[in-house]
Chains A and B, each alone.
Chain A
């Protein structure tokens, strides 16, 4: 290769840099040592990782050490009590274990019929929500199969029915907020509103008083309807934009046709 050609090639190589440097592999999310070690192990030592991957904790980035403590970056000392490793709690300690993060929920649970039976054969958090495959708090957890492990299903079913409409509204509004957020709409206020209402609603989850659940659900529904109205206004505005877009597209096509016909008159 002669010198001028080599120089020219270098210039173009540098000129083409934007197209080159914009493309590369996204770095893989670094996994903590707990997952690296346990995921390769058979049986009960590897099982928690598989279960955790499908859990609500995994979806929200809650890792092993967030519950069990320890050092997730040091394989040798990962399970050292000196590094804060807690291991698995005893049954009676489970609510306090989960309650380090879910403070309000723990309080609701302890006041409920379920909580009052703690240590006397009553259910703990993991009885309904599972341990590593932690399930999102939703009405789907209230099933005949789950509830009849301890008692009959009638009362649980009545509560579930009373809460179903509210749950449906929460899911639908949450979906709409997410969709609008994904389109650049400032949903901060709406998101906070839903968060607050949802938390209030979740406090009913551990209540077994059917009448109270019905009353509270009605109040919560009216607040949810206000959020739904606000979202409806955004959707309406979107439709108006589409209507305006139709006029603009039509106008541009008519202009194109006029220019084309004018050109034909000169041919």
Chain B
């Protein structure tokens, strides 16, 4: 005991642990009306760590070679001890990550947390959303199944609709005229090295912005729900009399993570193939196009939108405009009100947007 105390003292005088704990944990106060939607970020961090851990384990047996990739995934699923568990965790985790990024973004939208001075938090979050989609897209090719091969062929092909540089971009992405071994090499590098590092860096930036400006106050359960920030100078958004992060909100985070894990495990053990069509387990065959190749659920709305327009470039442009609008929302919506019921136009438009997304997704699935 005395030894531990002396080790603690040794660290204390060098690192100021007591002060750090006071500042970042017990003395880090959050709004009293904070709700469980604020733990979406912690859930996402947990998912990201799970993805990295399972991804590293998969790397032990996965072979990024067009002739061996499918066989190596089959080996992981059938012959490696708990390989099926690791692979399914990674594959289902990717869909969960997209789902919870969307939920996180929706909660930020409806609670007006993207408003000044948190534009940078929103932008960094938006970049993270796109990086998550990019890591899902690049990871999709790696099993080298019929589904991954043809979905990647279709996905990379659509870039060709961009005027002037389209064909160059297609060949740049594929590393040739067609999807093949060079595409696998490129996507593998992006998936295991480039994008995860970028995600980790932008997550760090996202948390840095949060740390500097402070946690936003939810607009629920308060009389005054408009944005307090005046923009005259930098000011940390503190919450005097709020609840401490440790132990109170950390326990809320733990509760949310445990509930998420129960949901994740339920999918993993009881309906693991919900995200896998049959073509996901057939080796890629460049000479045989499957009848109905559909993208993953989170790309179905984009897929259906492109089908609605006779010109692919028009479809891409409309989606580009919608994405740009969403990215720049904090700069477009300058209203001070944060409560969703006190800004009916925003709420109606947002719900309409969500419904359109869901309808296009379902339509895309059954079309």
Contact = CB atoms under 8 A, between A and B. Distances in A.
Interface of A: 8-9, 12-13, 15-27, 29, 61, 181-186, 241-242, 244-246, 248-249, 252-253, 255-256, 259-260, 262-263, 266-267
A16 B137 contact: no
Contact of A15 (B84, B127, B243, B268): B127
Contact of A252 (B127, B159, B258, B270): B258
Interface in B294-330: 294-296, 298-307, 312, 316, 319-320, 323-324, 327-328
Interface string B277-291: 010110000001111
A180 B261 CA distance: 26
Contacts of B266: 245, 249
B280 to A, nearest CB: 8
B292 interface: yes
Interface in B61-83: 74, 77-79
Given A241-B269, A252-B259, A252-B265, A16 B324 contact: yes
B255 A245 contact: no
B225 interface: no
Nearest to B269: A245
B348 interface: no
Nearest to B320: A13
Interface in B118-133: 126-127, 130, 133
A215 B70 CA distance: 42
Given A20-B316, A29-B291, A13 B323 contact: yes
Interface in B126-158: 126-127, 130, 133-134, 136-137, 150-151, 153-158
Contacts of A256: 255, 258-259, 262
A241 B84 CA distance: 11
A259 B251 contact: yes
Given A20-B319, A253-B259, A248 B269 contact: yes
Interface residues of B, number: 71
Given A20-B302, A242-B269, A259-B254, A26 B293 contact: yes
B227 interface: no
Q: Which of A20, A26, A183, A253 has the most CB of B within 10 A?
A: A20
B328 A18 contact: no
B259 A19 contact: no
B273 interface: yes
A20 B291 CA distance: 22
A19 B323 CA distance: 9
B264 to A, nearest CB: 8
Contact of B281 (A16, A184, A249): A184
Given A12-B324, A242-B269, A21 B156 contact: yes
A249 B130 CA distance: 31
B46 interface: no
Contacts of B247: 262-263, 266
B346 interface: no
25 contacts: A12-B328, A13-B320, A13-B324, A16-B130, A19-B299, A20-B323, A22-B155, A22-B303, A23-B300, A23-B301, A23-B306, A24-B155, A24-B306, A25-B303, A27-B154, A29-B289, A181-B278, A184-B84, A242-B269, A248-B265, A252-B261, A253-B262, A262-B247, A263-B248, A266-B248
A138 B153 CA distance: 38
Nearest to B71: A186
Contact of B262 (A18, A23, A25, A249): A249
B130 A184 contact: no
B154 A184 contact: no
Chain B interface mostly: helix
A27 B154 CA distance: 8
Interface of B: 74, 77-79, 84, 126-127, 130, 133-134, 136-137, 150-151, 153-159, 243, 247-248, 251-252, 254-255, 258-259, 261-262, 265-266, 268-270, 272-273, 276, 278, 280-281, 288-296, 298-307, 312, 316, 319-320, 323-324, 327-328, 364
A263 B158 contact: no
Contact of A267 (B150, B248, B324): B248
A61 B298 CA distance: 32
In order of increasing CB-CB distance, the 4 nearest A-B pairs are A245-B269, A23-B302, A23-B303, A16-B323
A182 B273 contact: yes
A255 to B, nearest CB: 4
Given A182-B273, A245-B269, A259-B254, A20 B327 contact: no
Contact of A26 (B78, B150, B252, B319): B150
A86 B278 CA distance: 37
A235 to B, nearest CB: 15
Q: Which of A16, A244, A259 has the most CB of B within 10 A?
A: A16
Given A242-B269, A245-B266, 12 more contacts: A9-B324, A15-B126, A19-B299, A23-B304, A23-B305, A29-B289, A186-B74, A248-B265, A249-B265, A253-B258, A263-B252, A266-B248
B305 A242 contact: no
A12 B79 CA distance: 43
Contacts of B127: 15
